[in-house]
């Protein structure tokens, strides 16, 4: 299912962890990895000599080949979100660190937030260390993108023979039961074992509690983007979820 994956590198530790996560997934799915470094124009913070960029890609290529995987390396110039989104059309998923050099203090960097908004493929926002991704959780609110995230989680769980934990944050238990009932029907039809969790509080708090109890190590969520060019990316409250957790978040457009 993840047979070809794109990894964005900018020399930051978070991007290095994204590469390690890609290697873990790549070995499971026998994937081909495409490692990309995008050099931003007119950026003092991101300014790197061509030789530095080449060394960055060479180290990544060596790491992937040592893991027994096929790899392509690509160097681009431009805006990282736009270049990565364009390259993503030819892959199954894009893996990125939570934040890069340009936004070290944000939960989700500006490149990641924009990439989630414009990419047409799955974006995996990686954790501070690689995860085996053996137990899946889904942040589910019944919306169309959450339904797609549920479908992807079900496919993933069928490959790794995992239980899917469906998490719904609600202040209305009866209404919440109806929402998760849709997810239960989907998983039941596919024969995927599941557990549903109706939790009070915000999505981030709900996800954090369930992950602490169940030790889930991968979270699937839908990307919810408001209307308008200047609309904020909410990504199923991803910024809040990422603030409360440190596991890979697999975001479906």
Q: Where are the domains of the chain?
A: 4-125, 136-252
Q: Which one of 3.40.50.620, 3.40.640.10, 3.40.50.10300, 3.30.565.10 gives the CATH number of domain 136-252?
A: 3.40.50.620
- Output the pLDDT for position 241: 78
For 247, phi and psi rounded to 5 degrees?
-130, 160
Per DSSP, the three-state class of 39 is strand
pLDDT at site 134: 95
The pLDDT of residue 221 is 92
| Residue pLDDT tens, the chain, 253 long | 899 999 999 999 999 999 999 999 999 999 999 999 998 876 544 454 555 788 999 999 999 999 999 999 999 999 999 999 999 999 999 999 986 555 545 567 788 888 988 999 999 999 989 999 999 999 999 999 999 999 999 999 999 999 999 999 999 989 999 999 999 999 999 999 999 999 999 888 999 999 999 999 999 998 865 544 444 444 446 667 778 889 999 999 8
Predicted local distance difference test score (pLDDT) of residue 42: 62
Residues sharing a CB contact under 8 Å with residue 230, sequence separation 6 or more, in sequence order:
none
Instruction: Return the bridge partners of 124, or none.
Output: 95, 250
Model pTM greater than 0.85?
yes
Q: Do domains 4-125 and 136-252 have the same CATH topology?
A: yes
Q: Where are the alpha helices (DSSP H) in 129-229?
A: 144-160, 173-190, 203-214
For residues 99 and 110, the answer to whether their CB atoms sit within 8 Å is no
* Residue 194 and residue 187 in contact, taking contact as beta carbons nearer than 8 Å: yes
Predicted local confidence at residue 116, as pLDDT:
87
**Measuring CA to CA, which residue among 128, 145, 169, 142 is closest to residue 233?**
145
Residue 91 DSSP class? S
pLDDT at 84: 97
Q: Can you identify the CATH homologous superfamily of domain 4-125?
A: HUPs (3.40.50.620)
- Where residue 117 falls (left for φ over 0; alpha for ψ -120 to 50; beta otherwise) is alpha
C-alpha to C-alpha distance for 113 and 125, rounded to whole angstroms: 10
CA atoms of 18 and 14, how far apart (whole Å): 6
The alpha-carbon radius of gyration of the chain (Å, integer) is: 18
């Amino acid at each position: 299912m993840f047979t070809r994956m794109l990894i964005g590198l900018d020399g930051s530790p978070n991007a290095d962890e994204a590469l390690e996560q890609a290697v873990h997934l790549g070995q499971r799915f026998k994937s081909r990895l495409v490692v990309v470094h995008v050099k931003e124009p007119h950026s003092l913070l991101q300014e790197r000599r061509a030789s530095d960029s080449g060394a960055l890609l060479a180290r990544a290529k060596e790491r992937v080949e040592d893991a027994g995987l096929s790899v392509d390396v690509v160097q681009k110039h431009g805006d990282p979100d736009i270049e990565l989104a364009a390259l993503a059309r030819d892959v199954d998923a894009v893996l990125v660190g939570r934040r890069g050099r340009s936004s070290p203090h944000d939960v989700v960097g500006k490149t990641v937030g924009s990439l989630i908004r414009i990419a047409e493929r799955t974006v995996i926002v990686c954790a501070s260390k690689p995860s085996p991704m053996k137990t899946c959780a889904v942040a589910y609110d019944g919306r169309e993108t959450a339904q797609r995230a549920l479908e992807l989680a079900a496919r993933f769980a069928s490959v790794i023979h995992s239980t899917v934990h469906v998490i719904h944050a609600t202040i209305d238990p009866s209404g919440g039961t109806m929402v998760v009932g849709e997810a239960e029907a989907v998983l039941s039809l596919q024969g995927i074992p599941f557990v549903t969790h109706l939790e009070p509080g915000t999505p981030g708090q709900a996800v954090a509690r369930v992950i602490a109890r169940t030790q889930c190590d991968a979270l699937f969520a839908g990307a919810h983007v408001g209307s308008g060019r200047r609309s904020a990316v909410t990504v199923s409250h991803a910024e809040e979820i990422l603030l409360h957790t440190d596991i890979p978040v697999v975001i479906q457009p």
